[in-house]
Structure 1
Amino acid sequence: MDLVRTALTLHGHPGGITELPSPAPTAAAAAEQLSCPVGAIANSLIFEADGTPLLIVASGGHRVDLKKAASLVGVRKVRRAAPEFVLQATGQEVGGVAPIGHPAPLRTLVDTALADYPQVWAGAGLPHAMFRSTFEELVALTGGEAAAVGI
């Protein structure tokens, strides 16, 4: 969580992290605790794109279209990463992955569906921690590429 807070402040974000009363392992659980639409939850999902880490910050309102993601990044196959791969790529465990605060920059796609919400909530490195942002800010924070990735 400290690495996420540091990354936020380095990018001019106030760095406010909200600690939820209990872990939020799903977008629905996070949305319920934050009293926001499930689509406003920015899930940070790590995939393997031909063996390389790919971060997709997806709206909690839908699933990621893996074929579309593969086409967008120009690889043959994108698949869900194993927990060990996620930890190695992000320094964070599955269930608490943030879109920032990783040991090295990751190729990132940010779901354009998040632009439908004036504010979105992203993980802050722990299963019970989130930070408030906007779609535009997430694209800037992650150095990512806006993309329609949902099914």
Structure 2
Amino acid sequence: MSILPESVTTFALSEAAERQPPLLGGPVARTAAEAPAALQDARAFAIDPDLADTAALMEAYGLPAEASANCVVIAGTRDGDERVAACVVLASTRADVNKRARKLLDVRKASFLSMDRAVEDSGMEYGGICPIGLPGGWRLLIDSRVVEQAEVVIGSGIRGSKIVLPGPALAQLPEAEVVEDLAVEIA
């Protein structure tokens, strides 16, 4: 039983990468090919790029906020060394950038990476940043509530598709760190 409507056609990630146009961004496709065990149950599906933003997608597909996970990129510096992390949190929450994430990065101040920089450094499109295929050197912090979900929808590296996968699969990604209270509930 999928959280997606029955009318949505999904594709295994290997097939999604080969479709024309591809349903996965380049870094996502490369990582999916290298980590098949962790992503064996992940499926990609095409969307209208205008629905790439979380609220629009949830409304169009009737998804609850707990079924959608956002990947936001934060950074801070310590002794001149930049530290970057992708934080994966449920849409019903927001990343606790100034407390929990900042402490995990061990920096004095953490902030969101600029959109231009996140896009350029990740090789992914804004609105489609995905925890699969992140650049080396970036930490992958996943709020524990995300991995508790039976299924979640995440970005695919492009705005024209999304990925649905079991929440626990994200914890199996290389470099994944599951963190309690990485996010706070939206009031």
Same fold (TM over 0.5): yes
Among candidates 80, 89, 112, match of residue 58 of structure 1: 89
Task: Give the superposition deviation at 1:142.
Answer: 4.6
The correspondence of residues 1-151 of structure 1 with structure 2, limited to 5 A, is: 1-12=25-36, 13-14=39-40, 16-50=43-77, 51-66=82-97, 67-147=99-179, 148-151=181-184
Q: Report the CA distance shift for 1:131/1:47 in structure 2 as closer, same or farther (over 3 A).
A: same
Structure 1 CA distance for aligned equivalents of residues 130 and 95 of structure 2: 17
Deviations along 1:28-68, whole A, 9 cap, x unmatched? Answer: 22223343212221211111122322110111111111111
| 1:20–1:33 contact (8 Å) kept in structure 2 | no
Which of the two has higher C-alpha Rg? 2
Length-normalised TM-score, structure 1: 0.86
Count of matched residue positions in the alignment of Structure 1 and Structure 2: 151
Q: Report the CA distance shift for 1:19/1:149 in structure 2 as closer, same or farther (over 3 A).
A: same
Task: Give the superposition deviation at 1:23.
Answer: 2.9
Structure 2 CA distance for aligned equivalents of residues 20 and 72 of structure 1: 34
Give the letter aligned to residue 63 of structure 1: R
Task: Give the superposition deviation at 1:103.
Answer: 4.0
Structure 1 CA distance for aligned equivalents of residues 145 and 51 of structure 2: 21
Task: Give the superposition deviation at 1:91.
Answer: 1.1
Structure 2 CA distance for aligned equivalents of residues 90 and 137 of structure 1: 21
Structure 2 CA distance for aligned equivalents of residues 94 and 108 of structure 1: 18
Unaligned runs of 5+ in 2: 1-24
Unaligned runs of 5+ in 1: none
Deviant stretches of 4+, over 4 Å: none
Structure 1 CA distance for aligned equivalents of residues 167 and 121 of structure 2: 23
Give the letter aligned to residue 118 of structure 1: A
Task: Give the superposition deviation at 1:102.
Answer: 3.3
Structure 2 CA distance for aligned equivalents of residues 68 and 22 of structure 1: 32
Task: Give the superposition deviation at 1:136.
Answer: 1.9
Deviations along 1:59-79, whole A, 9 cap, x unmatched? Answer: 111111111111123222210
Length-normalised TM-score, structure 2: 0.71
